Amino acid sequence: MATVQERTGRTLAQPVPTQAVRVPERPPPRQPWRRRALLVALLTGCSALFLVPFVWLVSASLRPRAYVFDTSLLPSPFEPQN
């Protein structure tokens, strides 16, 4: 089996000459404002969908036991000692 020096004619301590490759710079891709607005609306809707159960949980914890399954979001008899 040949060593690196025998195959390339260089020792391992010698640097390998490289040529600088020039990569053309591209401007960053811009998203159309409609697509971005749709993305923001979709993310806002999904976050609201996931936050509703948490808000219901907090509001149900502030109600008396008889009103826990009431459909209103804010408790009408507010009782913070629960």
> How far apart, in whole angstroms, are the C-alpha atoms of residue 65 and residue 34?
47
Global pTM reads: 0.47
Contact criterion met (CB below 8 Å) for 27 and 43: no
Q: Who wins on pLDDT, 28 or 56?
A: 56
Q: Provide the mean pLDDT of the chain.
A: 79
Q: Who wins on pLDDT, 42 or 64?
A: 42
User: Sign of the CA dihedral 59, 65, 71, 74?
Assistant: negative
pLDDT of residue 78 exceeding 80: no
| Residue whose token pair is 């401007």 | 27
**Cα 39 off chain centre by:** 13
Q: Who wins on pLDDT, 21 or 26?
A: 26
Closest by CA position to 73, among listed 12, 61, 34 = 61
Domain boundaries, the chain: 35-65
